[in-house]
């Protein structure tokens, strides 16, 4: 058993350490993570903008109503 362990250790020691085996999976993981992050950010941005636009349209309608009310008050006084 000792001879087999020595043989395996010698074989492993001769093999140079290389990150090439991890390059492709690491790139794939990074690409998937980046794509997912950008996609979700775009979705969030669109939903947030739609909510903002609805709020601003409500504010504009409220202000237009207030303007009409003030114009009616002004016309009533004149």
Interval 32-70: pLDDT, tens? 999 999 999 999 999 999 999 999 999 999 999 999 999
Q: Could you tell me the residue range of the domain that residue 62 belongs to?
A: 40-78
Asked, for residue 60, whether it belongs to a domain, the answer is yes
Give the three-class secondary structure for 17. Answer: coil
Token duo for residue 21: 């085996």
Position 66 in a domain: yes
Task: Summarize the confidence of residues 4-22 as an average pLDDT.
Answer: 64
Region 1-27: mean pLDDT is 67
Does residue 2 surpass a pLDDT of 60? no
No. of H helices and E strands in the chain? 2, 0
Report the domain count for the chain: 1
Q: Is residue 31 domain-resident?
A: no
The Cα 35–Cα 29 span in angstroms is: 10
């Amino acid at each position: 058993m000792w001879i087999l362990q020595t043989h395996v250790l010698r074989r492993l020691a001769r093999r140079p350490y290389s990150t090439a085996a991890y390059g492709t999976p690491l790139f794939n993981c990074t690409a998937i993570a980046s794509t997912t992050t950008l996609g979700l950010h775009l979705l969030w941005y669109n939903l947030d903008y739609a909510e903002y636009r609805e709020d601003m349209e409500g504010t504009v309608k409220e202000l237009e109503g207030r303007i009409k009310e003030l114009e009616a008050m002004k016309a009533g006084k004149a």
